[in-house]
Amino acid sequence: MKYKKILLKLSGESLSGKDKTGISREILDLYAEEIASLAKEGCMISIVIGGGNIFRGISGVSEGFDRVKGDQMGMLATVINSIALSGAIQKRGVRSKVFTAVRMEPVGEFYSRDRVNEEMANGVVCLIAGGTGNPFFTTDTAAALRAVETGADILLKGTRVDGIYDSDPEKDSNAVRFDTISFDEAIERRLKIMDLTAFTMCRENDMKVIVFDMNRKGSLRDIVMGEKRGTLVGNF
């Protein structure tokens, strides 16, 4: 096992599957199976999920919501997704626990880096919900922050495509995929991998990122075991 301690970032939209909204049972089961299987092999796993399949704070502004209130609604959406995935993981015989960046016991335990590390060391998959607990920060930034805080070996960003391309592969059939790319080059090319705050945090703390297709069965396990999948981003 190459990466013994990971932070997995999942988008809320990926959970919705073909329906584009809500939670797909099929996708939820796929993710839970992959995660539970790795946890049983001893991988320490924490997870940050977005909430865009339920509510996206920044888009709520265009619909008349105050940005702060909209972001708070988005934070709650991440909690719903985390509870759903936690339950699916538990059904596969692996302990999991939801932590929240804002207090909402008994829904989830208030986030503490030390508690998360303690639980992961005991084989518990930890879902860290509620973003950073503050408005104006994305779940990408929350994932970068939690990966650095907990001392993860790598931040794995699961998406619908198999890596980073020089243009949108869903729109451009000639798009070229990178096997590796530096943080500096990605910023220079303005590639939309993560928001700039998250990206800068990873670069400054030398937290490598792998962007990969989470919907391809076995990809997560392949990466953790050291096989090349997706695109590796680092300070090269």
Task: Compute the distance between CA of residue 84 and CA of residue 143 in angstroms, rounded to an integer.
Answer: 18
Task: Compute the distance between CA of residue 119 and CA of residue 207 in angstroms, rounded to an integer.
Answer: 22
Residue, of 21 and 98, whose pLDDT is higher: 98
* pLDDT beyond 90 at 39: yes
- Whether the CB-CB separation of 79 and 130 falls below 8 Å is answered with yes
Candidates 227, 119, 130, 108; CA nearest to 179 is: 227
Task: List the Cα angle 102/107/112 in 5-degree steps.
Answer: 45
Instruction: Report the pLDDT averaged over residues 164-192.
Output: 90
Give the distance from CA 95 to its chain's centroid: 19
Given this model, what pLDDT does residue 63 score? Answer: 65
Can you give the pTM of this predicted structure? Answer: 0.94
Given this model, what pLDDT does residue 171 score? Answer: 86
Given this model, what pLDDT does residue 230 score? Answer: 96
- Domains for the chain: give ranges and CATH numbers: 5-234 (3.40.1160.10)
* pLDDT beyond 80 at 4: yes
The share of the chain scoring above pLDDT 90, in percent, equals 79
Given this model, what pLDDT does residue 67 score? Answer: 87
Given this model, what pLDDT does residue 62 score? Answer: 63
* Tens digits of residue pLDDT in 104-115: 999 999 999 999
Given this model, what pLDDT does residue 60 score? Answer: 55
* Tens digits of residue pLDDT in 113-125: 999 999 999 999 9
Given this model, what pLDDT does residue 192 score? Answer: 82
Specify the 3-state DSSP secondary structure of 76: helix
**How far apart, in Å, are the Cα atoms of 51 and each of 22, 207, 216, 218?**
10, 24, 21, 24
* Tens digits of residue pLDDT in 41-93: 999 999 999 998 998 755 655 666 788 988 999 999 999 999 999 999 999 99
